[in-house]
Structure formats: structure tokens, C-alpha cells
Structure 1
Amino acid sequence: MTCCSFLFSRKKTACSAEHTTEIDDEVSGIQNTKLFPYKELKMATGNFHYSNKIGEGGFGVVYKGTFRDGTVAAIKVLSADSRQGVREFLTEINVIANIEHENLVKLHGCCVEGNHRILVYGYLENNSLAQTLLGGGNSSMQFSWSMRRNICLGVAKGLAFLHEEVRPYIVHRDIKASNILLDKNLMPKISDFGLAKLFPDNLTHISTRVAGTTGYLAPEYAIRGQLTRKADIYSFGVLLLEIVSGRCNTNRRLPLSDQYLLERV
């Protein structure tokens, strides 16, 4: 190893350790968050075996885990190499740890050992709307109009809670079909709060980098980067169209004139 590479390696290690300490300190200051040992999560998921993989996003992989007492959980493992994933990890804990609602996913705890950043949620048997209703998982489930109506109402209640009842209120920023999970009774739960923003009452908007998913972004937010609760409401409107029509807002396998759902309504 050359002198330069040795110094670089030491500097990188020191920075990494300092960054890890900052994360540990921030997590330890959050109330109502259980800290899981990494060994316990590794055992629950069969060493994070691919057969237990139930989802994957931009910041990591979600596994089904079964603990010794029979409790089943969804275990979200964030990429150790992603600084953005670390920010999402901290944001998600800060936002969801101290609030509870029947239409929001329940955070049971997290793991912050070494470079491991893992979130532990309640397991939802029927996956997401993207996997079931919109066919991403080739599901055979049939959704009646009353079921679709109840899902729409449940998501609306969850958003109303975030926007009106929490202080400071919360703008989710990524309402979409893959972030609406369904329990065994098909009750919808809003998930994935990694992009969420806490919104003080004295602000009319927050100027921020645009984040979210193409097809669900409100035009004024996408163009100017000015975030308000209306961004979530627009995304919810797109989601409503998907639930009613049973198709994704964008499908490039269709003829050009039919690819974009919003152009058809």
C-alpha cells in the first residue's frame, strides 16, 4: 500500500466513523424507537435470503422476517453505500416514530449497528397496490368497487391526518401505488416516509429540491420546487385515477395515444 493510499484509507475510515457516530447519536435521541440487534434481524430473515425478499426501492431492499416468538415483520435494509439512503433512514425514523394512525405503516424499530441501517415495520400480507391492483406482481386478486372506494377513503384519511392533525404537519412527497400497502383486510397503509418534510405552520411553502416519482409530481412543484400540501393532493389524485381505472398512470407498452392516463381523462 502506498503512503497516499494509506492516508486516504485512514481519512475515509475516520470520516465514516464520525458519520456513524452522528447517526447513532441522532437515533438514540428519538423516543419510542426500539433498537434491534443486527444478529436478530439476520436470523429473522434467514441471513437476508433472497426467498424472503418482498420488495426493492431506490435506497434498499425489503425482506419478510419471522422472529422467534412468531412475530412477522417487514425489514427494510438500506444500502450501506448510499449517503442519500442514510438521510432517508433518519428522516423516516424522525417522521414516523412518534405518530400512529390506522392508515399509516407502524414502525417497530431500527438497527444502527456498524454500517447497518435497517428499519423494522409491521408486515402487511397483501403487499402494495402496485403489486396487486395494478398488476406489478401478476396478482389474481379481484377488487370490487366497494373495496376500491374503501382503499381511496383510507388513503385520504391517512393524508388528512398527516396534513391536518400532526404538528408540525407532514408532506409525504411520494404518494404512489407502490407506497400504499394493504393488510389482510385490504386496509391501506401509507408507507415510505424517507422523502417526507416536516412543515411548520408559519410557512406557506418550502423551496426544496424536487423529489418524488415521475407521473405523480404536481406541475407547480416539479417546475418551481415550491412544496406545499397540494403536492401530496395532486399525487393522491393521480392515485385515485389508477385505482378507478386499474392501470398505471404511465404504460409505454401501449400505443402512444394511450400511454399516459392523465391524457385520457
Structure 2
Amino acid sequence: MGVQFVMRITFLLLLTYGLAEAAPPPMAMPGCKDTCGNVSIPYPFGMTAGCYLNDWFKIVCTGKGSSARAFLPGINMEVLEIKISNPNNDDYSYSSSFEPGIVLVKMPIIISSNCANTVPRNSSVNMKGSPFYFSSYRNKFISVGCNNMALMTASDPTVLVGCNSDCDYKTMIGRGAKCSGFKCCQTAFPYGNQVFNVNFESKDEKNKGIEKCKYAFLAEEEWLDTNLVVLHDRSYEVQLLEYVPVTLEWTVCKFNTLSPTEAVVRNAYWGSTKYGTEYYYCRIGYEGNPYLNTGCQVIFTSFGVLFLITRWLYKVIKKRNKIKLKQKFFKIMVLRQQLSSNENSVQKAKLFNSKELEKATDHFNENRILGKGGQGTVYKGMLIDGRIVAVKKCNTVDEGNLEQFINEIIILSQINHRNVVKLLGCCLETEVPLLVYEFIPNGTLFQYLHEENEDFPLLTWDMRLRIATEIARTLSYLHSTASLPIYHRDIKSSNILLDDKYRAKVADFGTSRSVAIDQTHVTTQVYGTFAYLDPKYFQTSQFTEKGDVYSFGVVLIELLTGERPISSTRSQDRNLSIYFINSLEENHLFDILDTQVSKVGNKDEIMTIANLAKRCLHFNGKERPTMTEIMMELEGVKSFCLFNQLEELEFVRNEEMGP
């Protein structure tokens, strides 16, 4: 039974029985005006006192008739469209649940200060404290210009996202997609952000004077689909645009306006986004406004129930076909990699079924959550055979997340190392990808270094030295011993897990890359954690193994100082790398060490590690040591430490035995 068959049945049912449709339920508060020009205004939004929930949802309507314009003064933006969460619309594809309410607004394009005949604009947006969030899955970050690297900062200052573009026709070869680096580049926007600001940098310092005019903005994907040709082929026309449409998500649940009991009475369900905000939507078969007392109402009469059932069948079959297409897509990608590598290692990853993983995680119960990140949520689960596992559920099924999902399968299937988290398999049946890993019980290195908790024992100097050595040994293996060099590209303390014996396990290979020997990885996108990213990477767009060395250097400093990579408590040097190097050069190193290091650690060993970290952070990547050299140096320190301990034990034993 296919989709076309169901559509034919639906058409026949409609002809046979007819459709008696009820009057549409109200969307605004009783007695309140529900339109401003062409914009519908549903509650909790409103235009006069008593018609909106609070001042954040107040709409100011200017002008008259169809030319009237709606504004949200709370965030100083013009409104183009408002939608209530409703599962009866066909365009809902937000993960495995429905999307929250959205508002389409106009946002200005940010223009650099070097554009002829154009006034520069740097209109940063800060919506902190409001119920509005930039939609990650409906918006893209766009940068236009030559020799342009645009970096945006968001709510979390440690996360840096951006992309770079140039006008070198040589780089255009092989870039078939629009806005893929030639005159224009694009990248995804992080989840749950309420802040948007952009900084422009030159991609190539040598060509700083070439075409300095640069633009950057967020834009809704539907708008982009229509305008990408202009951005790619006639990028100069961007300066003619003043505003572009951007989608915001909104929530009222932080104001506790609707209890779960009231939601049931109003025929509504509760939902939540991947970054924790909550919303309500009508049950399937109902429509209306769940935030009003009138709630959601049945759509059809008794004859229309047949149509409702047919519609449900249509959606089921459509969803099933979607899953089949995704399965085919994944298998083709994995097979392609398998054939190109001449290895069968990819087959080691088991294909789990969705029911097995749902049962293992108690239907992805919130109580089973181990952690949340930009790419997904990790749940603790127990398989039928009793094995404890970690199941990562991707946030969305957009192109970027699919690429990282497949990439992680491919990379981890090539790796067999005791200090790398083992991938057990994946599930291709679900609407969002699932990855299954071995369970690592003791959390992340970041937690032990930076979070005060009685459950986290203090890491001694010996433990820190061993952990650093294990990480270095792993990266040396990835860079030098693997069949093809693998660059991790996201080494940080939160990606280092600790097992039951507090041994390091390197995790999160979603952004890693396998590269041919003597090649570097060139990318138009810049994505990573700010304090750990190689500054040279920003200039060249080339990620080499020395980028991992820089990130490892930051982790070494964390182990030495116990300080966070970015901290507002350090008034002069928020960046830990700068703070550390300045302290080392001013002979204040021992003033900033963690107490577990300064009290127990040998001073010569500490200075050796500190100088090694400094070399890892050298601005010129060529001056940094390789991970193999780092591993050997750390193992030398570790061996020397062990030798001293044995000598000390021998001395104590001789003293006890006497002459």
C-alpha cells in the first residue's frame, strides 16, 4: 500500500461522504483583534491590554488596512508571521516530536565598515531573558564576500561558529553547491541561542586589502532556497538588502501558565525542545489554540472521521518511506567508504533495531540522560543481554548532523584502541539517528577538574599525569599509526571520558576527519570550542594534526591549573592559554597551579609539563611538537616519577630494616 493509493482512497471517501467541516476555533482572546495587516495574531500574542500574556508578547500594529505592520517592541523586530504549535500541519519535522511555536521576523544584515556607498551595520541581537530563541533547524548563518572569515558569537561564549569565503576561481572547482565557499558560505546555527553577533576577519593576511566589503546574517532556509543564486553569483547585490527573514522559536512555559492537567482538559500535549524550553500543541485530530480556555477542538464530524483515519494512514506510510530512504542513504555511504578503504572494518558495527533501543533506554526516559551536546542527547541503557550502553540520539536529521553521524560510524569503525570509546553499533530505523557506545561510568575529565561535587574524587598529580599520557598516546595513534591519519578536531576535557579505573577514553568523533598522508583538511566552515581552537586555523582554513596538538596543550593547562578554558573571573585574561603563558613568562606559574598539583607534584616534573604545554600552544603550528614527541616526553616524565617512587620505597625499607 503506497502513498498514491492512500491519496486515491481519501479522494473517493471525500466524494462519497462529503466533508462537514466545523467552524474554525478561536485563536485570539475573546473580544481581541486577531490580525495586523496580513499577520494573524494568536494568543499569547495580542495588541491591547488583556489580549496578550505579558509585555514580551505585546504586538504594536502601525499603519492601516493591508499595509499595517506588526512589531514586537520587546525585542525590537518586525513580525512577518506567527504560528502556534500544531501537529495537524504537514510541515512539522522537528526531530521525532513537533516543533514549538515560531515567529518569522525581519533581521538586519551585518555589513563591515569597508563597503563603498554603504553605511556599516553591526546590529547585534541579545534576547536573553525573553521567551524567544533563534531556530537552529530553520535558519542558516550566511557570510558573503572575498577573503572573508565571519565568526559569530552566541549565548555560550565558548562556542565559536562561522565560515569563510573567497573569490579565487581556483577554489570554485569541485564546489557544485551554491554558497559553498566561493563568494558565499553557510553553516548551521547552534541550538538554544538568544544572542547573535558577528566579527569579520581576513582569511588570508597577505590579501587583506582585496575586496574588503563583507556581509553576514542569519536567514530562514526557505528564503535562502530562492536567493542562493544571487548570493553565489551576484554577491554584490546583498548590500541592496537591508533585512532578511529569520525564524524565532517561542515558549510561554517559563511563566507556568498551563499545568499538565489543564493541557489534558484542553486536548493538548506537552513538548520540549532540545535545549530545554517547553511548549504545548493540540492532540492529533484537534486544532485551535492550547493556550486559550477554549483549547483544541475536534476537526471533523463523524463522516470526517474516515478522512482522519485515512490521513493518519497517509502519514504512517509517508514516515515509513522516509525511514526507508534514510536507511538506503546510510547504507550507501557506509558501503562507499568500505569499498574505498579496502577494509571490512565497517561491518563490525552492529545494526540495532529501534524497539531494542527504546526498551533499553525506557523509551528515552529523561531520567536516563547522561548528557546533552550540540549534536545530540546521550542516554544510559541496558541491552537484553545485560550490557550497559550509552545511546546517543541526534538532535535533528538535517544534512550537517547526518554527515557527522555517518562520519562517526566511519571513523570509529577504523579505530581499535583501548583509550578510544568503542562504537558498538547504530540504528537506522528511527527518524533521528542513534549511535550505541560502550558505557563509560565515571563521566568526563571536565567534571572532575571544574565541577565541585562530592561524587567526584580529587585527581592526584599521578592520575593527571597518567591521563595526559593516555590522551597523548591515543592522538599519536590517530595521527601516525591508523591506516589513514585521523584528526580529531575537537579535543577538549569534556570529550575525555574516564572509565571505572579512571583511564582516559577519547570520545566524540563527529567532526573528525581521515586524510591522505601529507595532506591537510581545508574547510569553509569554522566550528568548535573557542578556547581550544588553533588560532592558525582561522587564518589558513587548513586543519592539520597540529590543531589537535594545540587543543591538547589547553587540556594540559587544565590538568595543571584546574582552571576553566574560558572564565569571566579572570578579569584580564579570560582565555586560559593567554593567562597561563603570561604567568609562565612572569615566573608566576606556581601561583596558578591547582592545589593537588602544587602540594604533591615534583617541581621539575611540573616545569617540564608546563614548558611542553607552552610549546603545544605556539602560534606557528610548525614549531609545535608532534603528538608522538609529546607522548614520548610524557612517558619519560611518568617513568622518572615511577623511578623516584621506587627509590623512595627502597630507602624507607632499608631504614626500617636497620644496619
Same fold (TM over 0.5): yes
The CA distance in 2 between the partners of 1:200 and 1:94, in whole Å, is: 15
The answer (yes or no) to whether the contact 1:34–1:110 under 8 Å persists in 2 is yes
1:66 paired residue number:
382
1:91, CA displacement in angstroms?
0.2
Compare the two structures and name the one with the higher strand fraction.
2
1:136, CA displacement in angstroms?
7.5
The CA distance in 2 between the partners of 1:121 and 1:114, in whole Å, is: 17
1:257, CA displacement in angstroms?
1.8
The answer (yes or no) to whether the contact 1:173–1:211 under 8 Å persists in 2 is no
1:34 paired residue number:
350
The answer (yes or no) to whether the contact 1:130–1:136 under 8 Å persists in 2 is no
1:148, CA displacement in angstroms?
0.4
**Paired AA for residue 25 in structure 1:** I
The CA distance in 1 between the partners of 2:365 and 2:487, in whole Å, is: 34
The answer (yes or no) to whether the contact 1:195–1:212 under 8 Å persists in 2 is no
1:222, CA displacement in angstroms?
2.3
1:207 equivalent in alignment to 2:522: yes
1:188 paired residue number:
504
Alignment equivalent of 1:96, drawn from 412, 415, 425: 412
The answer (yes or no) to whether the contact 2:464–2:559 under 8 Å persists in 1 is yes
1:22 paired residue number:
329
TM-score (norm 2): 0.37
The answer (yes or no) to whether the contact 1:32–1:98 under 8 Å persists in 2 is no
User: What is the correspondence of 1:227-238 to structure 2 with a 5 Å cutoff?
Assistant: 227-238=543-554
User: What is the correspondence of 1:1-265 to structure 2 with a 5 Å cutoff?
Assistant: 18-27=325-334, 30-135=346-451, 139-203=455-519, 205-208=520-523, 209-252=525-568, 254-265=569-580
1:87, CA displacement in angstroms?
0.7
Residue-by-residue CA offset, 1:75-106 (whole Å, 9 max, x unaligned) = 11112343211111000000011321011110
Gap change, CA 1:143 and 1:47, over 3 Å in 2: same
**Paired AA for residue 181 in structure 1:** L
Count the aligned residue pairs.
Answer: 257
**Paired AA for residue 408 in structure 2:** E
**Paired AA for residue 109 in structure 1:** G
**Paired AA for residue 116 in structure 1:** V
The answer (yes or no) to whether the contact 1:131–1:138 under 8 Å persists in 2 is no
1:52, CA displacement in angstroms?
0.6
The answer (yes or no) to whether the contact 1:44–1:68 under 8 Å persists in 2 is yes
Sequence identity percentage: 36
Q: Which moved more, 1:34-43 or 1:72-81?
A: 72-81
The CA distance in 2 between the partners of 1:207 and 1:81, in whole Å, is: 25
Gap change, CA 1:123 and 1:16, over 3 Å in 2: closer
1:16, CA displacement in angstroms?
7.9
Residue-by-residue CA offset, 1:47-94 (whole Å, 9 max, x unaligned) = 111111001111110001112222101111112343211111000000
1:172, CA displacement in angstroms?
0.4
The CA distance in 2 between the partners of 1:243 and 1:68, in whole Å, is: 39
The CA distance in 1 between the partners of 2:385 and 2:496, in whole Å, is: 27
The CA distance in 1 between the partners of 2:452 and 2:408, in whole Å, is: 25
**Paired AA for residue 508 in structure 2:** D
TM-score (norm 1): 0.89
Secondary structure at the aligned position of 1:124 is classed as: coil
Gap change, CA 1:138 and 1:199, over 3 Å in 2: farther
Which structure is richer in relative contact order (CA contacts within 8 A, separation 6 or more)? 1
Gap change, CA 1:15 and 1:39, over 3 Å in 2: closer
Gap change, CA 1:116 and 1:160, over 3 Å in 2: same
**Unpaired runs of 5+ in structure 2?**
1-88, 94-313, 339-345, 581-659
Residue-by-residue CA offset, 1:200-239 (whole Å, 9 max, x unaligned) = 0142x22113232111011111222111100000000001
Q: Which moved more, 1:171-180 or 1:108-117?
A: 108-117
1:248, CA displacement in angstroms?
1.2
1:27, CA displacement in angstroms?
3.8
The answer (yes or no) to whether the contact 2:376–2:393 under 8 Å persists in 1 is yes
Q: Which moved more, 1:109-118 or 1:51-60?
A: 109-118
The CA distance in 2 between the partners of 1:182 and 1:85, in whole Å, is: 26
The answer (yes or no) to whether the contact 2:380–2:439 under 8 Å persists in 1 is yes
